[in-house]
Structure 1
Amino acid sequence: MSEYREERRADNAAEAEQRRIDAAAAEERRLVRQRADDERATRLREQQAAERAAARHARADARSARKAARGVALTAGNVYRKGTLALVTASALGSLPAQILHFVHISPMLLPLPFAIEGAAWVMAAGVAYADERGLPGWVRWLLRGLVGVAAGFAASVNYSYGTGLDGLSPSDAATAGIGLAAVTLLGPVLFEVRQWVSTLSAKAGEGDQRQQRRHDRRRRRHHKNVAKLADRLMSAAPLGSLPTEDAWTRAWSIVHGTDEPGMTPQLHRYAVRSTTALTDAMREPTPAAPARTGIARRFTDWLMHRQPTPVASSHKTPEINVNRSMSDLEESTPEPVTTAAPEALPAPVVVDLPTPVESTRALAPVAAESTRPRRATGRVPDSARTPRPKRTPDQLLSEARKLTADWSDGELTAESIRKGVRTSAEKARGLRDTLRAERASGTEESAA
């Protein structure tokens, strides 16, 4: 009996555990389904939000496109062009019925005349626009304008006579109707011609840069004909479109003038070098100002300068100082001294009472001043024409210094004296001084010992 009860309890416990497991599994499946449903709902909400956002962006883009289209359509140029065409259409619609009624009243056979007259005026106006587009000669455009004026004037006269002849109108109203019909007839061709004239001027104003470029090309080809011919040959030799015009000009300029900088030539480079050299010399060697003269010396010098004749340029060459010239250009190794004749003594000045001098406005004659500075070499002396400077070893320098300073005292033994005597650099002179002083000190110690 007890075993039965234990088995019964074990079965109940197993059933309870199985029910618990089944409930846990069912709960897990429910949670999985719930998570799947939640994920589907979340994706659906995100998709709907994305669709709404895309729709909003599409509407915003459409509004922006419509706004941009309105901005383009409502520009001053478009309004002027389209408004002119609308006024021209209204003018044709206002003038054509009066012409049709006028000619039909005369005879139904004259019905095509109004269309022919109006058509001739508008075809000739379109011909003016075509002539402007093709750049035809001016007389063609003026001939077409004359034909437009003839056709429009005849149509205006017909409408004026029809308006003044209307029945049931007072004379003032009839005149107003005639003038109005004639003005409407002329208004269309006039507005169309003004529109074409404004369009032509706008196109010319927009081509200002192109005109300047064409003018620059013509002027460049006129000033540099050789370079232009060579550039044309280079472009014709290269495949079509492979060599740009500016590259061809740069290459041709380099071939003709030897420089890659456009506009520069060998003559201009030499001129620039001379100018730079002259400026450097002028800044390095300023001319000293002449001392001021006062009192009797100034009056006597002014009187003497007025008495002297204007110097005349001599045809003889001035003696040349060949100190700085290359030795290969000289006939002799040593230049001969130049002897100049002593100036003649001036007669003794006569003491006279001079009146108060008055500053003369006449410019004094220029007098060439003698320069004691040697003439600068005209160019760089080549290395082959220079006298090679011998290079001495430290032992040779020390030997020369010993011979030079053998009878010198310790006070005279300085680096400056050694540099000038041996003719070497200051650094080497200091080394020689230290060596000689050390030798003298060691000799003195040996003799004392």
Structure 2
Amino acid sequence: MSGLGEFRAERREDRRAERADARADRREEHEQRRLDAEAARQRREADERAAEQAKERRRAARAVRLGRVTGWVAANPARAFVRLVQACSIVPAVVSQVAALDHAKVAVLLAVLLAAMLEGGAWALVALGAQAEGERSTHTYRLGAWAAGTVAAGINFAHGWTQYPHYHWVAFVLALSSIGAVWLTDLQTHGGRGPTTAEKKQAKERAEHARQRAEHHPKVREVADRLLSAAAYGALSTDAAWRIAWEYVHGVTTPGLTAELLAQRLNARARVAELSTLPAPADLWPGMPDDPFPALTLPLPSGPSDGVYLDTVPDGLRNASPITTEALEALYRTGSYAPAPDAGAPGSESSDGPVGNASATAGERPLDPADIGRVRVLADDLAARGEELSTKKVRDALGCRNDYAVRLRRQVVTERNDPPATT
């Protein structure tokens, strides 16, 4: 009995182990099915994402292509509409010509070839003319294109006139289908390449300027022509040749300036300066006593000072002629300058002292010692900055007349050049 009990116990243990193994197998199988389902779901989602990405890429590519087309149309509207007219005119033009040749009992294949020859010849000549634009003459290509287009238009017109006897306007439309696109393409290809109205006007003004310059300055023109012919082609421009020639003939590099013109200007300013200090006529003051204002003088007209004159004189002319600040000051002297009286002579001193009267002549304003002191300070400031004392700077600093500023400057410059001897 003990052996049977042991057998039964072992049998129960085996069954219990089998059931545990079966449960483990079922759990493992269930887990495997779950993993397979999860992998399948992930594969489906990945496929869907890949398909969506591929669709997005195709959509983006279409948008890029459409953007290129629309962008090109927006940037080139004239060219885009010409291309549209070309496409819409070539097809009906060729069909009409084939129909016209077929109506004339020409074989269909021959009619197609002849129609293609006429229309294709016109467009080939248009393309050749566009390629030759800017390099060689395009007249031959353009005339050939118009001739081929006119022949094709005549065939379409004749066909439309006989084919539509009650609607003759159709003949004009068919003829226009052959010649209209050629006309638009010719305008687009060869139009707008010539000079504009502004460029034509500028070229006309330039030619007129060259004519006047050559007419007014024949000597300079002759030298400039010789310089241009002697130099290598393109090495010397016309304007540069004229500048060099002007310096050769007139001695200055400033175009238009000559020694005679400068002398005329300086003489005119000298006359104005001389007239500006004449006593005022008595009839300017009716009813007043004779000579009410003995020192009255006409105001000096405002104008360029000696520094400005010297600035307008080129270095070459300034070095070649005695045009200096002192010479210009002499031109600005008013009236006849008599030698200044000696400091020790009777009547040479006034209430302003000997300094204030040393540079004054009869009828002139004596030099104020205070003004002389201000000019000395101004001269020191200018010397510290490396600048020279000029009449204009004196006049601007004191607000005085030009002749008074000239005498003040001369006084200070004389003091600086000839300092008093020390005892």
Which TM-score bucket, shorter chain as reference? Answer: 0.3 to 0.5
User: TM-score, normalised to structure 1's length?
Assistant: 0.40
